[in-house]
Amino acid sequence: MHHNQQPGPIGIFDSGYGGLTVFKEIARQLPQYDYIYFGDNARAPYGIRSFETIYKYTLECVQHLFDMGCHLVVLACNTASAKALRSIQQNDLEAYGPGYKVLGVIRPTTELIGQLTQSRHVGIMATTGTVQSQSYVVEINKFFPDIQVFQEACPMWVPLIENNEQDSPGADYFVEKYVQELLQQSAQIDTIILGCTHYPLMLRKIRQHVPAQIRLLAQGEIVAERLADYLQRHPEIKGLCRQGGQFEFFTTETPDVFDAKARLFFDAPVHSRHFEL
Ligand code: DGL
């Protein structure tokens, strides 16, 4: 049991860069807090890995954030939220005590979806790991049993974005392919959740291939709103989140490589430090 009751930064975790699209919105809506962003770039992508590996890697990174003084960690990664969050909450948090919390990005999105779809046919585009976990299907059906969920794994999208090809003609092929495969499952889909925190970077391209009447839902704003609400409802956790407006960035990869790409995701200059695993 950790007995540290000193307020600390809010931890934001992702396998790499994607979580920066969520952090950007959190920082915009809640600029008063201190934050540590932690990207496990050396071991990304997570989307293709097994349950055991994703759980192990995610838990390690969460523990590093706790060691750095965080009490509250947001898994700003769908793959980690789908495959590791529940196990961490059930098996690992108890050892730390009641002042330690980990939140994910899937629950906030699924809670909202019932208000957004008219046709009750919803599409999920995500990594293979997230799709295989069935987390979106299970979570949506818990809140809204009348909604039908159709999923499409998009394994080529993260590599395209990681290699800065999101606006190139080469991206068109795989955007078109996965969008078509999803829409072939149901012609009634009226809302598509971009269930991977990388995808907002390719939003322009995705929008070109998705019929205009279908809503595309990115998660950053939704997660930020739910975090603000969570802190409102949990003053005991809010009191453990240090205010000061300082942002720190750690990557398990080389900082200069991280910084160059991170600014595209974060929309602002990023100066990271290396974290040795
Ligand atoms: N950012 C991760 C997500 O939201 C995907 C990247 C990866 O595969 O590591 O699912």
Which residues have a catalytic role annotated?
77, 196
The overall average pLDDT reported for the chain is: 96
Task: Spell out which residues line ligand 1, taking CB within 6 angstroms.
Answer: 14-16, 18, 44-47, 77-79, 127, 130, 158, 196-198
The two domains 10-104+221-274 and 107-219 share their CATH topology (first three levels equal): yes
Q: Once rounded to an integer, what is the mean pLDDT over residues 136-148?
A: 97
Residue 39 CA to ligand 1 centre (angstroms): 11
Judged against a pLDDT cut of 90, whether residue 9 lies above it is answered with yes
Domain chopping of the chain, boundaries: 10-104+221-274, 107-219
CATH architecture of the domain covering 10-104+221-274: 3-Layer(aba) Sandwich (3.40)
Residue 79 CA to ligand 1 centre (angstroms): 5
Atom of ligand 1 nearest to the CA of 47: 8
User: Alpha carbon of 266 to those of 22, 74, 88, 197, 247: distances in Å?
Assistant: 9, 16, 27, 12, 12
Residue 207 and residue 216 in contact, taking contact as beta carbons nearer than 8 Å: yes
Q: Is there a cis peptide before residue 45, judged by omega within 30 degrees of 0?
A: yes
Residue 131 and residue 193 in contact, taking contact as beta carbons nearer than 8 Å: no
pLDDT in tens, 11-43: 999 999 999 999 999 999 999 999 999 999 999
Fold assignment, 107-219: Rossmann fold (3.40.50)
Please, which pLDDT band fits residue 4 given cuts at 50, 70 and 90?
confident
pLDDT at 1: 60
Residue 23 and residue 37 in contact, taking contact as beta carbons nearer than 8 Å: yes
Atom of ligand 1 nearest to the CA of 46: 9
Q: What percent of the chain has pLDDT over 70?
A: 99
Instruction: Look up the pTM and report it.
Output: 0.95
Residue 73 CA to ligand 1 centre (angstroms): 17
Atom of ligand 1 nearest to the CA of 44: 9
pLDDT at 64: 98
pLDDT at 162: 84
pLDDT in tens, 210-266: 999 999 999 999 999 999 999 999 999 999 999 999 999 999 999 999 999 999 999
Distance, CA of 271 to CA of 111 (rounded, Å): 34
| The token pair that represents 171 in the structure block | 């991206």
pLDDT at 5: 87
Judged against a pLDDT cut of 90, whether residue 163 lies above it is answered with no
Residue 36 and residue 11 in contact, taking contact as beta carbons nearer than 8 Å: yes
Burial readout 219-253 (b: 16 or more C-beta within 10 A, e: otherwise): bbbbbbbbbeebbeeeeebeebbbeeeebebbbbb
Please, which pLDDT band fits residue 83 given cuts at 50, 70 and 90?
very high
Helices 220-233 and 19-29 pack at an angle, to 10 degrees, of 50
Q: Once rounded to an integer, what is the mean pLDDT over residues 153-160?
A: 95
Residue 46 and residue 79 in contact, taking contact as beta carbons nearer than 8 Å: yes
- C-alpha 263, offset from chain centre: 17
